[in-house]
């Protein structure tokens, strides 16, 4: 080997050795990852701080924040923190909020179809089965078809199959549908149209405004949702007759919505967390509801001496007749309303048939085990 070749070989060796040494040194000083700034979503609920619905919203937020591993965080605000309860959907659509936790009946003034995704006419199904329609029967596609029709720029999901809502709180028990005529009554959504058809004078109010309106004489009677929310409002302190069961809001669930432009900026895996956390909260919310609603109903009876009674069957029957009239009227006026109703009924006809044919007689079992008759 010539002297020139030896020098070139030595240079090559030294260069390689230097690189290897640098690599070995690097192993002793591992790369320090730069902390990633989380995506923060500002979400407001339609619920007051003391309402159990606020706790249910927080159950959703907790699941998202824990699963997102620090890459995304929802900062949750109670009703009124930025906008009023009935305004959270508009605020989310416009980007004032990034997200909201509410119910579709709070924006049904934009389209009465909105109420079909929560508190529409009786369709043969309970809330669990109607949620099955949302996620397996084409309901979510129809919801997504509705949103741009009325200028709402959001992505939404649903959770929490709410039990039947009580007929509500009355100064005197209502023994027949005639007792509703002329009554100043609070409800929301299509239920407002229903009770107006039955002769009531309806005022639509968010939950936090109900008791002040009652005390001022703006309303004589009201319904909100469940024994826990009603008791936390202080209903038992101003009225002592609580009537259970009704067809006016036989099914309902929460709507969890995100501003569509903001949604598009979120990575797909985090979008999946936001979506599937709604399914996780669906179960958690229901368990929380069952535990609290049942306990608080007993407290209303035993501690607060509230007269809790079952709504007479005759009122259920008159509600069904009124729903028939109202559903036909709205279907005739709006082809899309008709389309959604027909979709629900097609799904409900087979799902509810299976349910009623197959379901155990749980009431019979309860009365046998506890030797207690359920009021009818």
Tens-digit pLDDT string for the chain (376 aa): 555 554 555 455 444 544 444 444 444 445 444 457 999 999 999 999 999 999 999 999 999 999 999 999 999 999 999 999 999 999 999 999 999 999 999 999 999 999 999 888 999 999 999 999 999 999 999 999 999 999 999 999 999 999 999 999 999 999 999 999 999 999 999 999 999 999 999 999 998 899 999 999 999 999 999 999 999 999 999 999 999 999 999 999 999 999 999 999 999 999 999 999 999 999 999 999 999 999 999 999 999 999 999 999 999 999 999 999 999 999 999 999 999 999 999 999 999 999 999 999 999 999 999 999 998 8
Q: What's the pLDDT score for residue 350? A: 97
Q: What's the pLDDT score for residue 31? A: 47
Q: What's the pLDDT score for residue 26? A: 43
Neighbouring residues of 76: CB distance < 8 A, sequence distance ≥ 6: 43, 44, 45, 57, 58, 61, 101
Sign of CA dihedral 181, 337, 43, 270: positive
Q: What's the pLDDT score for residue 40? A: 98
Q: What's the pLDDT score for residue 36? A: 75
Q: What's the pLDDT score for residue 330? A: 98
Angle at CA of residue 145, ends 322 and 60, nearest 5°: 85
pTM for the full model?
0.89
CA distance 52 to 50: 6
Neighbouring residues of 249: CB distance < 8 A, sequence distance ≥ 6: 119, 164, 165, 187, 189, 191, 223, 225
User: Which residue from 151, 225, 213 is spatially nearest to 188, judged by alpha carbons?
Assistant: 225
Angle at CA of residue 316, ends 313 and 336, nearest 5°: 165
Query: Domain 39-162+251-291 carries which CATH code?
Result: 3.40.190.170
Return the domain boundaries, the chain: 39-162+251-291
Q: What's the pLDDT score for residue 35? A: 53
Q: Cα-flanking dihedrals φ and ψ of residue 242, to 5°?
A: -120, 115
Q: What's the pLDDT score for residue 376? A: 85
User: Which residue from 224, 216, 221 is spatially nearest to 239, judged by alpha carbons?
Assistant: 221
């Amino acid at each position: 080997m010539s002297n020139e070749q030896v020098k070139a070989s030595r240079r090559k060796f030294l260069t390689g050795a230097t690189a290897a040494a640098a690599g070995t040194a690097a192993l002793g000083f591992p790369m320090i990852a730069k902390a990633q700034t989380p995506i923060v979503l500002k979400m407001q609920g339609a619920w007051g701080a003391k309402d159990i619905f606020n706790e249910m919203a927080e159950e959703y937020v907790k699941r998202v924040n824990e699963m997102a591993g620090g890459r995304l965080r929802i900062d949750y605000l109670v009703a009124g923190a930025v906008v009023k309860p009935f305004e959270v959907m508009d605020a989310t659509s416009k980007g004032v909020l990034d997200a909201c936790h509410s119910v579709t009946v709070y924006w049904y003034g934009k389209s009465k179809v909105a109420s079909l995704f929560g508190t529409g006419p009786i369709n043969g199904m309970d809330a669990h089965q109607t949620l099955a329609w949302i996620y397996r029967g084409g309901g979510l596609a129809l919801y997504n078809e509705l949103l741009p029709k009325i200028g709402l720029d959001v992505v939404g999901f649903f959770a929490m199959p709410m039990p039947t809502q009580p007929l509500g709180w009355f100064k005197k028990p209502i023994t027949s549908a005639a007792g509703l005529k002329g009554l100043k009554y609070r409800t929301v959504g299509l239920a407002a149209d229903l009770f107006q058809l039955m002769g009531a004078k309806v005022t639509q109010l968010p939950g936090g405004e109900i008791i002040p309106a009652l005390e001022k004489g703006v309303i004589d009677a009201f319904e909100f949702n469940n024994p826990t929310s009603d008791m936390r409002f202080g209903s038992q302190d101003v009225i002592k007759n609580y009537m259970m069961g009704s067809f006016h809001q036989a099914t309902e669930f929460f709507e969890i919505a995100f501003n569509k432009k903001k949604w598009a900026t979120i990575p797909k895996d985090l979008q999946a967390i936001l979506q599937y956390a709604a399914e996780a909260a669906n179960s958690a919310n229901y368990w929380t509801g069952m535990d609290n609603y049942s306990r608080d109903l007993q407290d209303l009876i035993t501690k607060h001496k509230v007269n809790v009674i079952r709504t007479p069957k005759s009122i259920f029957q008159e509600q069904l007749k009124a729903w028939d009239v109202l559903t036909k009227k709205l279907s005739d006026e709006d082809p899309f309303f008709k389309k959604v109703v027909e979709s629900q009924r097609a799904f409900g006809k087979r799902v509810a048939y299976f349910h009623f044919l197959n379901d155990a007689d749980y009431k019979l079992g309860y009365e046998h085990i506890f030797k207690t008759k359920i009021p009818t």
